[in-house]
Amino acid sequence: MLDSPFVQLTLELVTGFFALFAVTKVIRKTQINEITPFDFISAIILGELVGNALYDEEVKIWSVIYALALWGALMYVVESITQKYRKTRKLLEGDPAIIIRNGQIDFNVIKKEKLDINELLSILRQKDAFSIREIEFAILEQSGNISVLKKSKYNNPTFEDLNLPDKPMYMPINLILDGEVLEDNLKVIGFGREWLENQVKTFGVDEIKDVFFADWKQDEGIHVVSLRKNKSI
């Protein structure tokens, strides 16, 4: 009966489950919510160890338990080191990077972190920031998330708090991404390419290809980000 493949698989699954549970109790609880590159590699290794025990008949479950225990001990040591010695955190966990400072995009950081404009806008929208113009500071965390501090202009008390009537809300519309005009969006707002070129020139940018990002908002106008300056009118 014990030689049955189903019994053997059950024993390996149950043993692997409790072994992984023990390892995750030893390592820090924040690993699930804030995965650093080191944590990501650790998760892959742990899954691979248990997977080998389940699908490779030559790998015995006791060998996997030993490997899990050793890997868990190593992770615990690394976590202890990063807590005790601050200088090791940069090597093992990385540093946060300020990608928007005082409302200005740091293009050197953008390039270093290999972050393009579409990715940046997507992450900002998840933070309820639908335009770069709204951001005073944005920090790319070690986990890949972005922490955002909005400008005071966009972080005011709610109209309900001030007992004011509701004000219409307008969605920013992207017009230029990486020097390319989004023609369909331009048609949506009722303007043509000539109008856009004239607007861009008011920011001291001669050609659209030199524009990193530009959007338009009905109640605020156009906002242009070039490699030299960020400005809106």
Quote the longest CA-to-CA distance of the chain. Answer: 82
Q: State the pLDDT at residue 33.
A: 47
Do residues 154 and 115 lie in contact, with contact meaning Cβ atoms separated by under 8 Å? no
For residue 76, the tally of other CB atoms under 10 A from its CB is 14
Looking at 80-84, 120-124, 205-209, 219-223, which range is the least confident one? 80-84
pLDDT band at 88 (very low <50, low <70, confident <90, very high): low
Q: What is the mean pLDDT of residues 185-189?
A: 91
Q: State the pLDDT at residue 142.
A: 72
- What percent of the chain has a predicted confidence (pLDDT) above 70? 58
For residue 152, the tally of other CB atoms under 10 A from its CB is 8
What the block records as the tokens of 103 is 């409302």
Please tell me whether residues 24 and 77 are part of one structural domain.
yes
Residue 178 has pLDDT above 60, yes or no: yes
Packing angle of the helix pair 37-55, 5-26 (nearest 10 deg): 160
pLDDT band at 6 (very low <50, low <70, confident <90, very high): low
Provide φ and ψ at 136, rounded to 5°.
-90, -50
Please tell me whether residues 113 and 78 are part of one structural domain.
no
What the block records as the tokens of 226 is 């070039």
What the block records as the tokens of 25 is 């109790």
Please tell me whether residues 99 and 153 are part of one structural domain.
yes
DSSP state letter for 195: H
Please tell me whether residues 10 and 86 are part of one structural domain.
yes
Q: State the pLDDT at residue 194.
A: 92
Please tell me whether residues 124 and 200 are part of one structural domain.
no
Residue 1 has pLDDT above 60, yes or no: no
Please tell me whether residues 128 and 62 are part of one structural domain.
no
Please tell me whether residues 192 and 150 are part of one structural domain.
no
Please tell me whether residues 20 and 67 are part of one structural domain.
yes
- CATH number of the domain to which 194 belongs: 3.30.240.20
pLDDT, tens digit (0-9, with 9 covering 90-100), for 127-156: 888 888 888 888 888 767 788 888 877 766
**Domains in the chain: how many in total?**
3
Residue 59 has pLDDT above 70, yes or no: no
Please tell me whether residues 181 and 220 are part of one structural domain.
yes
Task: Give Cα 145 to chain centroid, integer Å.
Answer: 3
Please tell me whether residues 80 and 13 are part of one structural domain.
yes
Domain boundary among 42, 63, 91: 91
Residue 189 has pLDDT above 70, yes or no: yes
Domain assignment of residue 131, given as a range: 95-167
Provide φ and ψ at 131, rounded to 5°.
-155, 145
Domain boundary among 148, 167, 186: 167
pLDDT, tens digit (0-9, with 9 covering 90-100), for 24-45: 655 554 444 455 556 666 667 6
Q: Give dist(CA 113, CA 147) in Å, integer.
A: 15
- Of 28, 26, 22, give the one whose Cα is nearest residue 143: 28
Characterize 94-106 residue by residue with b for buried, 16 or more Cβ atoms within 10 angstroms of its Cβ, and e for exposed.
eeebebbeebebb
Please tell me whether residues 189 and 149 are part of one structural domain.
no
Please tell me whether residues 146 and 72 are part of one structural domain.
no
Domain boundary among 33, 60, 91: 91
